[in-house]
Amino acid sequence: MRRGVKAGQLKVVSEDQIYDLHLAVLNVLEKHGMCIKNETALKLLSEAGSEVNFKRQVAKIPGYLVEEAIGKAPRSIRLAGRNPKNDFILEDKKVFFRVNGLAVNILDLETGIRRRSTIRDVARGAKISDGLPNLDSANEVSAAMDVPMSVVGLYKEKAIMCNTTKHFILAREHGIEVERERIRMAELVAGGDKNLRKRPFISMFISPTSPMVLGEEDTQVIMEWAKARLPLVCASAIYSGGSGPITLAGTVVQGVAESLAGNVLMQLINPGTPYIFGLLPFVLDMRSSAVVTASVEASLMCSLVAQIAHYYGLPSIASGGFTEAKTLDGQAVFEAFMTLTMSALSGVNLLQGIGYLESGITGSYEMVVICNEIAGMLRKFSSGIQVNDDTSAVEAIAEAGHGGHFLGLKHTREHFFSEHFIPELVNRTSFEKWREGGEKRFEERAREKALAILKDHHVEPIDEDLIKEIDLIIDKVEKRELKHRT
Amino acid sequence: MIYMSTVNLKEIADAILALDAETAAEKVKRALEEGIDPAKIIEDGLSTGLKMVGDKFENGEFFLMHLIAAAEAAKKSVNELLLPEIKKQKIKRKVVGRVVIGTVAGDIHNIGKDIVASMLFAAGFEVHNLGEDIPVDEFVKKTIELDADILAASALLTVTMPVQREIIEALKKAGIRDKVKVIVGGAPVTKEWADEIEADGYAPDAIEAAKVTQKLLGKKV
């Protein structure tokens, strides 16, 4: 099992203010309502007590339904890997890190060229995430732009599952007919739906369309995954000032409302189905009209999301690792560090945004490696300082004597590994040693590590027979989708 | 009479600068009642106001939200008061160009596209915002129907980006590819993609989109 260090030291609002925000969320859902573009979902909400306008497709969800649904959602969610040693439990204020699959381009590891991402890159991204110890959930980093778009999700799923034994999260790419097949593929590998449900090695990420809309296809997938009782993240990507209010509290209120609306639907369909609450807060830059992924405002909002998640007792997701930098420079590293640190110290359960440059448009394996190092430091940071009779070192101080030293003490050997963090990428050698080593910059060392993982890391393969069956599914669905289009 | 109408039109411009949709509409209504040419009201009243707002944006005093508020204030007067009058009087309205804009089929995201639509309107274009989840045929049909100069297609998901390519193919098939300039955008859309699908223009954000569109029609920006 993968362990998460408990954080939550960073708070940005008071308890009273959390309650005020909760009331605002209930108000938005009850008085303004959520637009859900699906007849079945609207009927369910209506039957459960919501005031539904079927013509405008808006459901005004009463507070008690929202709170009931929060109550039904599990406090702890097991996200499994193909290998049980990679399972982890999302709960409380324990922090875990994931890569996702956002980018359209990839910074080519061998040439440094920024180019379109391919299915081969999907496999490489998954393998690199698999080979980095501080990443709990692996994903592809970048998209596959060279396979048929009608079934790209299936191609990606196969490539990812073959290159990692860690948990990975899918994003909706298709309509329900094809999305169902992605569950089938996973069930095949897990050895049946019961096994998959017990130890799900995949989950699904759905984003409402802000403000306050759940699209038809997204809603269908939410309902399908709830029926299958597989973990589902319902978290919007809101840009404050554009698709959400300019105020930080307002964007969080809207984001929480949108996420909880998804949960109401999920718990009505299958009470107790695993739901991951959260928000990816961004900012609309009012000078350039660009959507900004890393900012002080976004980090503040992530912290608030964590506090609200703890108040509700819900497993949560928020962003961390993003940067607007166009290249691997100081901006990239400091923005990734800032966003990861704020979210991690706030106790967000699952952080995503690792492995990008350019606001998520270009993936970078160097950034994955760099963020892995930062994640390690944050785990150490979150674990705080151990205070007990032994660590207070009264005896050791006496043993070292006046004017002595501590290097030879048993106390030092006994505690070194648990007290000090040993960085891998960070350079601490002398200048001469650094020069002798080739004067390598930080990002070059990150690149070398990524290349080493691709070369040397071994991922437990999936049984050949299962692969054949997976290929048959992909082939069948591809042909079926081709027929539909012609 | 001429002295009065000049003052009126400046007041309209000032109302736009103040981002006051209601006051602008009141004054537009009064100007129309006084028999002033609607095209002149747009030109000397609304467009002048929008230009003043644009200048303030350029020098850092105003921000995107001011641009959009001003555009929406002007749009209210144009749509509710001026267009009906122009239609009634059968006036041929002089515009920078005609734009058909929408989010492609399978995609319901709208905000970026709507910001672009507002910016183009503010720049003097006649903008037809088709909405979201728009099929390829609809894009082509409306382009022909409205004799559009610009077709702007937005895609927010990697799986819906290919529809932008399909639109260009459909324009070729319909024999009108060379009659309209195609500009593409959306979060995952890059210049390389736009070049690959042989779009005429690409922009990474709404403000650039307005500039690129104007350049495509040979306007100075």
How many CB atoms sit inside 10 A of residue B137's CB?
A: 12
Question: Contact at 8 Å (CB) between A277 and A263?
Answer: yes
- In this complex, the residue of B111, B112, B207 whose CB is nearest that of residue A288 is B207
Give the model's pLDDT for residue B8: 78
Question: Contact at 8 Å (CB) between A409 and A396?
Answer: yes
The DSSP secondary structure of A147-208, one letter per residue, reads: S-GGGHHHHHHHHHHHH-SSBEEEE--S-HHHHHHHHHHHHHHHTSHHHHHHS-SEEEEE--
pLDDT digits (tens, 9 = 90+) for A35-88: 999 999 999 999 999 999 999 999 999 999 999 999 999 999 999 999 999 999
Beta bridge partners of A278: A235, A317
pLDDT digits (tens, 9 = 90+) for A341-350: 999 999 999 9
pLDDT digits (tens, 9 = 90+) for B62-108: 999 999 999 999 999 999 999 999 999 888 888 999 999 999 999 99
Q: Which helix (H) or strand (E) holds A275?
A: strand A275-284
Please give the interface size between A and B, counted as residue pairs whose CB atoms are below 8 Å apart: 56
Q: Which chain A residue is nearest to residue B157, measuring alpha carbons?
A: A173
Give the model's pLDDT for residue B214: 92
Q: Is A18 on the interface with B (CB under 8 A)?
A: no
Helices (H), ranges, A228-295: 248-269
Prior bond to A211 cis, omega within 30? yes
Res. A484 pLDDT band, cuts 50 70 90: confident
Mean pLDDT, residues A365-389: 95
**Of B154, B151, B126, B124, whose CA–CA distance to B219 is shortest?**
B124
Question: Contact at 8 Å (CB) between A357 and A326?
Answer: yes
- Residues of chain B with Cβ-Cβ distance to A152 below 8 Å are 158-159
Give the model's pLDDT for residue A486: 66
Mean pLDDT, residues B128-137: 97
Mean pLDDT, residues B152-172: 94
Distance CA A226, CA A203 (A): 11
Helix then strand then coil, in percent of chain A rounded to 5, is 50, 15, 35
pLDDT digits (tens, 9 = 90+) for A269-320: 999 999 999 999 999 999 999 999 999 999 999 999 999 999 999 999 999 9
Does the pLDDT value for residue B6 go beyond 60? no
The alpha carbon of residue A180 is apart from the nearest alpha carbon of chain B, in Å, by: 17
Give the model's pLDDT for residue A74: 98
Q: Is B56 on the interface with A (CB under 8 A)?
A: no
Distance CA A104, CA A116 (A): 6
Largest CA distance in chain A: 86
Does the pLDDT value for residue B167 go beyond 90? yes
- CB–CB of A209 and B204 under 8 A? no
The DSSP secondary structure of chain B, one letter per residue, reads: -HHHHHHHHHHHHHHHHTT-HHHHHHHHHHHHHTT--HHHIIIIIIIHHHHHHHHHHHTTSS-HHHHHHHHHHHHHHIIIIIHHHHHHTT-----S-EEEEEEETT----HHHHHHHHHHHHTT-EEEEEEEEE-HHHHHHHHHHHT-SEEEEE--STTTTHHHHHHHHHHHHTT-GGGSEEEEE-TT--HHHHHHTT-SEE-SSHHHHHHHHHHHTT---
Beta bridge partners of A52: A59
Give the model's pLDDT for residue B183: 97
- In this complex, the residue of B159, B205, B208 whose CB is nearest that of residue A152 is B159
Mean pLDDT, residues B45-53: 95
The DSSP secondary structure of A59-125, one letter per residue, reads: EE--HHHHHHHHHHS-S-EEE--SSGGG-EEE-TTEEEEEE---BSEEE-TTT--EEE--HHHHHHH
Mean pLDDT, residues A202-219: 97
Give the model's pLDDT for residue B126: 94
Give the model's pLDDT for residue A127: 98
Distance CA A103, CA B184 (A): 18
Which of A78-82, A132-136, A171-175, A481-485 shows the lowest per-residue confidence on average (mean pLDDT)? A481-485
Question: Contact at 8 Å (CB) between A209 and B108?
Answer: yes
Q: Is A284 on the interface with B (CB under 8 A)?
A: yes
**Of A211, A485, A220, whose CA–CA distance to B135 is shortest?**
A485
Percent of chain A with pLDDT over 70: 100
- CB–CB of A241 and B192 under 8 A? no
Residue A29 is given by DSSP the state I
- In this complex, the residue of B108, B109, B158 whose CB is nearest that of residue A104 is B158
Name residues 188-217 of chain A within 8 A of B (Cβ).
209, 213, 215
Angle at alpha carbon of residue B15, lines to B10 and B18, rounded to 5°? 130
Pair type for strands A316-319 and B150-154? unpaired
Distance CA A138, CA A132 (A): 9
Question: CA B33 → CA B28, B92, B106, distances in Å?
Answer: 9, 20, 46
pLDDT digits (tens, 9 = 90+) for A121-164: 999 999 999 999 999 999 999 999 899 999 999 999 999 999 99
Pair type for strands A94-99 and A88-90? unpaired
Distance CA B174, CA B152 (A): 17
Res. B4 pLDDT band, cuts 50 70 90: low
Name residues whose C-beta falls within 8 Å of residue A334's C-beta, 6 or more positions apart in sequence.
none
How many CB atoms sit inside 10 A of residue A165's CB?
A: 21
Give the model's pLDDT for residue A94: 97
Question: Contact at 8 Å (CB) between B119 and B92?
Answer: no
Q: Which chain A residue is nearest to residue B162, measuring alpha carbons?
A: A149
Angle at alpha carbon of residue A373, lines to A370 and A377, rounded to 5°? 140
Mean pLDDT, residues A407-413: 95
Distance CA A101, CA A438 (A): 33
Pair type for strands A94-99 and A350-354? parallel
Distance CA A365, CA A360 (A): 13
User: What value does the mean pLDDT of chain B take?
Assistant: 92
Distance CA A456, CA A434 (A): 25
Give the model's pLDDT for residue B92: 83
Res. B218 pLDDT band, cuts 50 70 90: confident
Question: Contact at 8 Å (CB) between A322 and A290?
Answer: no
- CB–CB of A213 and B108 under 8 A? yes
Give the model's pLDDT for residue A385: 95
Could you tell me how far CA B125 lies from the centroid of its own chain?
Answer: 5
- In single-letter form, the type of residue at position A230 comes to L
Q: Is A291 on the interface with B (CB under 8 A)?
A: yes
Does the pLDDT value for residue B5 go beyond 80? no
Give the model's pLDDT for residue B2: 53
ipTM over 0.85: yes
Question: Contact at 8 Å (CB) between B123 and B68?
Answer: no
The DSSP secondary structure of A376-408, one letter per residue, reads: HHHHHHHT----STTTTTHHHHHHH-TT--STT
User: What value does the mean pLDDT of chain A take?
Assistant: 96
Distance CA A157, CA A143 (A): 11
Distance CA A187, CA A382 (A): 36
End-to-end CA distance of chain B: 35
Give the model's pLDDT for residue A485: 73
- CB–CB of B190 and A291 under 8 A? no
Does the pLDDT value for residue A483 go beyond 90? no
Could you tell me how far CA A156 lies from the centroid of its own chain?
Answer: 17
How many CB atoms sit inside 10 A of residue B32's CB?
A: 17
Token representation of residue B68 = 């959009």
Give the model's pLDDT for residue A172: 95
Distance CA A316, CA A73 (A): 12
Question: Contact at 8 Å (CB) between A183 and A230?
Answer: yes
Mean pLDDT, residues B111-134: 94
Does the pLDDT value for residue A109 go beyond 70? yes
Give the model's pLDDT for residue B94: 84
Mean pLDDT, residues A329-339: 97
